[in-house]
Amino acid sequence: MVKSFRFIDESYTCPSQNMALDEALIENFQNDELPILRFYTWDKDAFTLGRFQNILDIKNFENFGENFTRRTTGGGLLLHGFDLSYSLIIPTSLLTNKSVKESYEYLCQFLLHFYANLGFEASFAKEIMSDKLAKSAFCQVGYEPYDIIIKGKKVGGNAQRRTKKFIYQHGSIPLHVDSRIFSSVSLEELGKNLHVKEAKELLKSSFETTFNTKLLSTTLNDTQLQSFETLHVNKYNTKEWKYESISAKP
């Protein structure tokens, strides 16, 4: 990989802020700068929709509340508030020799390392339950090839967006039990009760070891902060972005 990554650990927890910040980092990402790893958490009642998903198509969607936004990646409705999430932004040039599938498998290695350090044998869904792979309106229910499985249960998933300039990947680690979850399993249910601070440190260590790199703690610069504020107000927190189906848009 590279000798160092820029590491960002911001305190935002609302969905619209979290997704606006990711896009601000993407929007201002330059090929000659360090790749980025970001950690973040969520409000207890938060959820996100996939880019091409329409919440009006989800039965009893009003039961999930109003604290949500749409992601820039695909997939289904994803419940948050009990999880630690990560985002990766790296130049596409770093993985030019890998296909989309190969880049997923490569970038997810630090997650497998994290779970292994907790004493779990983690695998990709494609390796042990290929017959059950199926999309769902709810991320925690469906099985994608690079979802992570422990003891026959889905622990977490990952999504990716690629351009000629960058690869953006994000995913979540479910730390605690949540009554809204109806399929996937948390680390707490598997016998590991981690505080979010402890989980962050273990995940950072796994990332540095897996990719033989160093994480350099940084904050947003003025340009990124301005983009974040604009995107939060004018896009991710608007009814148009949250409710309008955009599947037909380019």
Mind listing the pLDDT tens digit for each residue in 111-122?
999 999 999 999
Burial (CB count <10 Å: 0-12, 13-18, 19+), residue 59: exposed
Q: Which residues are catalytic?
A: 139
Share of the chain above pLDDT 90, in %: 73
C-beta of residue 77 within 8 angstroms of C-beta of residue 159: no
- Least confident span in 47-51, 99-103, 128-132: 128-132
Round the average pLDDT of the chain to a whole number and report it: 92
More confident of the two residues 246 and 226:
226
> Between 196-211 and 109-117, two packed helices, what is the crossing angle to 10 degrees?
120
Residue pLDDT, tens place only, 156-179: 889 999 999 999 999 999 999 887
Lowest mean pLDDT among 43-52, 75-84, 124-133, 224-233: 124-133
Domain 4-243 architecture: 2-Layer Sandwich (3.30)
The reported pLDDT for the residue numbered 248 is 35
Q: Where are the beta strands (DSSP E) in 126-185?
A: 148-150, 153-156, 158-162, 166-174
